[in-house]
């Protein structure tokens, strides 16, 4: 079975406190659905394209589990905390 990944790159973070509150709530949902952070911030080097201020990659056991996580009530409550405080690109991707 192929794994599922959440890939999120932040272009703008307007409120660091909102992001921290989001992260505290979101981590509970990540753990509940068996997600593992592969990338969570840290250093980066831009080799092509634009610089993003933050990147997160979360691995799940399957694409379906990643979808289940994203659409869960637990995650959606966390997601609501980011409203109007970030500009980001977010994808659910099937991979190996």
1 band by pLDDT with thresholds 50, 70 and 90:
confident
Q: If we measure between CA atoms, which residue out of 72, 12, 44 comes closest to residue 92?
A: 72
pLDDT of 15-69, one tens digit each?
Answer: 999 999 999 999 999 999 999 999 998 889 999 999 999 999 999 999 999 999 9
Helix (H, G, I), strand (E, B) or coil at 41: coil
Q: If we measure between CA atoms, which residue out of 1, 9, 20 comes closest to residue 78?
A: 20
Alpha-helix runs per DSSP H in the chain: 16-32, 63-70, 73-80
Say what the pTM is. Answer: 0.92
């Amino acid at each position: 079975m192929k794994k599922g990944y959440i890939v999120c790159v932040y272009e703008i973070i307007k409120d660091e406190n909102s992001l921290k509150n989001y992260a505290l709530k979101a981590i509970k949902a990540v753990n509940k659905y068996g997600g593992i952070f592969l990338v969570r911030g840290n250093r980066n080097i831009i080799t092509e394209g634009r610089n993003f201020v933050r990147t997160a990659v979360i691995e799940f056991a399957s694409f379906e589990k990643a979808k289940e996580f994203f659409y869960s009530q637990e995650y959606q409550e966390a997601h609501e905390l980011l409203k109007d405080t970030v500009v980001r690109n977010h994808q659910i991707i099937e991979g190996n």
